[in-house]
Every structure is written in structure tokens, then in C-alpha cells.
């Protein structure tokens, strides 16, 4: 089995679009780091997760990945607050009882939290993927438009099965 780390925001749920729309409505400048941090720390994450659409059937795709027994799957997600971490864990637990959820404080690289070498990270943010590759990990960009930006790319998580089935076996 190969370690597979799946990002949450922008891969499982479209929280980025939802929260950016809220910021716009509230007149918060995303470029103002202090304002943005305060906004994300004070969000009602239970509410945000309840109104955010799933991306490309991600929950059933994760189940398909689990069923293959090819991957040791964990959710590796940046968080801005303890409340956000708690709500994301609760969300994942509604669907999967045995999947590991690793909340990573926004100020820390995901590469510092887990073993990267030979492990796969699926993330929509190229910055995280560049860091992952620099630590000898396998970077896969999640993009609804299949824009890989130089990385392997998927727009559905179950595409990883075909992409890595020969590598893992």
C-alpha cells in the first residue's frame, strides 16, 4: 500500500469558493492578511461545511479508493482554527469511520506533518505540491479544469486508481 494524502478544501468540498464569496459580501480584502486570518479564524465552520458543495462526487470516490486496498488514505488539511479542525473531522466521520484526518496549522507546511517520501499528495494548491515534490513525494494536482500546472492532474479522486494501480501492485 502507498500512503495517499488528500487535501480537503478545493478537493473534497468547494470551501474556497464559498468562503471567498462570503469575504466579498462582508467587504473583506483577501489580500489583507490580518483581515483574512481573522475572518477564517472566526468562521462558523459547521455552517460553512453544511452549505458547501462536494466536488465531483469526492465522497464516493474516496470510498472507491478505500475499496481497492491500494492506498493507506489520510485527509491532510490546513486549518486556521481548532474549531475548523473539529468540524472537518466531524464531517469526514459522517462518511468514514476509519480514515485518518490530519489537521495542519496554516503556518506549517504539510511536508512537516507526515512522511512525504514516496507518498502521494492530492492538492489543488500548486505551492503545497511543489513543497511535496521537494521532499521526494508524489504530487498530483486536483483541478476541475484538468490544469496540471506541470503536475500529474485529476478532476476526480477515483482517477488515482488507474493512475497508480500498476505502481502499487
Structural domain count of the chain: 2
Q: What is the pLDDT of residues 87-103, one digit of tens each?
A: 999 999 999 999 999 99
Whether residues 40 and 93 share a domain: the answer is: no
State CA 143 to chain mean position distance. Answer: 12
Same domain, 7 and 28: no
Q: Assess whether 99 and 143 both reside in one domain.
A: yes
Residues 101 and 43 occupy one common structural domain: no
Same domain, 77 and 122: yes
100-142 pLDDT tens trace: 999 999 999 999 999 999 999 999 999 999 999 999 999 999 9
Considering the domain architecture, whether residues 30 and 113 belong to the same structural domain is answered as no
- Residue 70 lies in domain: 2-14+53-168
Nearest Cα to 158, choosing from 56, 16, 15? 56
Same domain, 116 and 42: no
Does this model's pTM top 0.85? My answer is yes
Q: What is the CATH number of the domain that holds 146?
A: 3.40.50.1000
**35 in the same domain as 116:** no
Distance CA 27, CA 35 (A): 10
Amino acid at each position: 500500500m502507498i500512503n495517499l494524502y488528500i487535501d480537503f478544501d478545493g478537493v473534497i468540498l468547494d470551501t474556497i469558493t464559498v468562503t471567498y464569496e462570503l469575504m466579498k459580501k462582508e467587504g473583506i480584502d483577501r489580500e489583507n492578511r490580518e483581515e483574512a486570518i481573522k475572518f477564517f479564524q472566526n468562521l462558523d465552520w459547521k455552517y460553512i461545511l453544511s452549505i458547501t458543495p462536494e466536488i465531483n462526487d469526492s465522497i464516493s470516490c474516496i470510498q472507491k479508493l478505500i475499496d481497492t486496498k491500494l492506498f493507506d488514505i489520510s485527509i491532510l488539511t490546513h486549518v486556521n482554527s481548532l474549531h475548523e479542525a473539529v468540524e472537518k473531522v466531524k464531517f469526514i466521520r459522517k462518511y468514514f469511520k476509519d480514515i485518518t484526518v490530519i489537521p495542519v496549522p496554516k503556518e506549517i507546511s504539510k511536508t512537516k506533518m507526515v512522511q512525504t517520501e514516496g507518498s502521494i499528495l492530492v492538492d489543488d494548491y500548486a505551492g503545497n505540491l511543489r513543497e511535496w515534490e521537494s521532499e521526494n513525494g508524489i504530487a498530483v494536482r486536483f483541478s476541475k479544469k484538468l490544469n496540471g500546472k506541470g503536475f500529474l492532474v485529476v478532476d476526480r479522486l477515483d482517477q488515482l486508481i488507474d493512475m497508480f494501480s500498476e505502481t502499487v501492485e
